[in-house]
Structure 1
Amino acid sequence: MTVLVSGGAGYIGSHMVLELLDRGESVVVLDNLSTGFWWAVPKEVPLIQGDVADQDLVARIIAEHGITEIAHFAAKIVVPESVADPLGYYLNNTVKTRALLESAVRGGVRRVIFSSTAAVYGEPPVSPVPEEIELNPINPYGRSKLMSEWMLADAAKAHGLGYVVLRYFNVAGADPRGRSGQSSPNATHLIKVAGQAALGQRDGLEVFGTDYPTPDGTCVRDYIHVTDLARAHLAALDHLRGGGASLTLNCGYGRGYSVKQVVEVVKKVSGVDFPVKFSGRRAGDPAALVAKADRIRNELGWKPEHEDLEEIVRQALAWEDSLKTRNAV
């Protein structure tokens, strides 16, 4: 059995590749390297540069490498960018996912793990957010992912695919062994940006919105360590291989931190009191998104190991510091 990891040169996808390799799996990466990095893929893993919507290419990969499963990470993920460029997001996240699913069905792939998002919930009326709540995304990013969820479910029913949809909350941190991390210099993840400010790579940090209906007025998010998230994908894969039913699951810890709280932890861990500027809200940002995470633990037996926010920040900072030499490669 060989797993095709689309977007495997990116942040989360590269951690999935590492986890698969660590347990002796056969892996192939397909990535257009628009936001990923060739050096993030271990040398022993075939890296094919191309687009998931190139159906001739995907068909050749499936046939030549004996692909039995696909873990689909390739996507655009920046909420404000999706508001400014909705058609680009529907093309990249929805239309291209449809093409990949068609290639999978034609090639006889039996199992798909799909990278979705808590943005499908929009501004949920309850917190923590359960999977069965009404879905009402408020930005094109969330809508593009929800449409992909629908397509996957319909294709699975028609063609006998097994799938697990994993709805990520806020992903953070880096591989504890220092092999991968969030590498894009222009990423918008809060811990990444705050870490850059702490290391003097930015003049400071801008916080968007201080008047949300939260305890301190800033957005609240559920931060999940990227390695715990990758291992949730492994658990999903094992579930399907064992004949388990298709599932849709939240990926989070069930505990939220405000932007101000995260900033204080980054300052504490780094020992740097970097400047913070407070600005108005960004378009498309809900006040709070915290996962109800019971189902993933019960259904997959998933047990996170890196829940401590200080650990997440410490590893993110170490990775950020290491990028000074890696980006010179």
Structure 2
Amino acid sequence: MPGASGPDPGMPGPWPGPGPGRDVPFYAGGPPQPEPRLVPRTNRLAIVALVTGLCGLILLAVGFAIAALVQAGRRGERGKGLAIGALVASGTWVVVAAVALAVVAGSLVTADRDESGRVTGKDKMLPAALRVGDCFTGFQVESMTSPVTALPCAEPHQGEVVAQVRLPAGEFPGNRKVHEQATDACFIKTIRFLKSRHAQHLEPYLILPAKANWDSGDRKVLCLLTYNGPDTITAPIAATLDPKLKYWTELSYGDCFGKWDADVPAQRVLSCSESHWSQVYAVYKLKAGPYPGEKGMERKAETGCKKQMNKAFGRHPQPEYYSFFYAQKFEWEGGIRTIVCFGMSEDRPLKKTMLPR
């Protein structure tokens, strides 16, 4: 009726209140379900990159990481964080490797030394970092840049740095020319070691400057002697020199020695009252200038020694034979201009001087 309170029975009423079976609103077919969400998969290359990065396989890790970043971006895949982590891990390994390399490199150019500079322990070193007077073992001819062990010369060793030379300034002349120059320069510096009692078992080697070193002003050459004899060497090579041996440039007027042996670079000087076969009768020098060549040197020496023989012996009996020493090209370029003339007995040793009183 008009004016009556309460809902109109013909109109829909409000939602039913709470009660049994009415705890939640009613929807036909049940409550709405959320739409399914697709989760992107993780890029496999990113996983591989992280694993290789953590294992220190730097080049592989960087390659996989870059590929993963590109691939994941194109495909909408996950894994960019893993790829970045691989790059970070690789960077960490690079830093660790750099520090380790610096430590190792530093240790390969230094050795424990006393105040005089002599090596006191056993240290791995690069041959180019050795100093004159350093003895070493582990030298490899086929790999002369491989580390050696520097040690005191009083201990058994393989070789020694006996000299250092500096080649002339100028444009890098090429490896062959550098080797030639270094060979000549080192020979002049090491002549005295030919008087070692181990001379026949000593082999010379060179540590040469590379082009990069040359261009930066480092033209240093190290002259090495290695021992390949049957004994064990436990002293500096200088301590093995025989004072009675003379290289041909050291021979003097009146020196007596045995039969000339071209394979023996130094002669044993004897008392002329002892049995001997040869005696020096003249020593003189040629004028400086360009090297006259092997034949030219031989002619000069032969002509000069004939004149010197006439001067030395005059009317006295002359030697049955005579011969001479003269400079090779590398010796000439090293400043040696000496000619040594000596007489020889033909078939019997002498026991007195052949020179006139």
The structure, 1 or 2, with the larger RCO (C-alpha pairs under 8 Å, 6+ apart) is 1
Determine which structure has the larger helix proportion and give its number: 1
TM-score (norm 2): 0.21
**In terms of Rg, which structure is larger?**
2
TM-score w.r.t. the length of structure 1 is 0.22
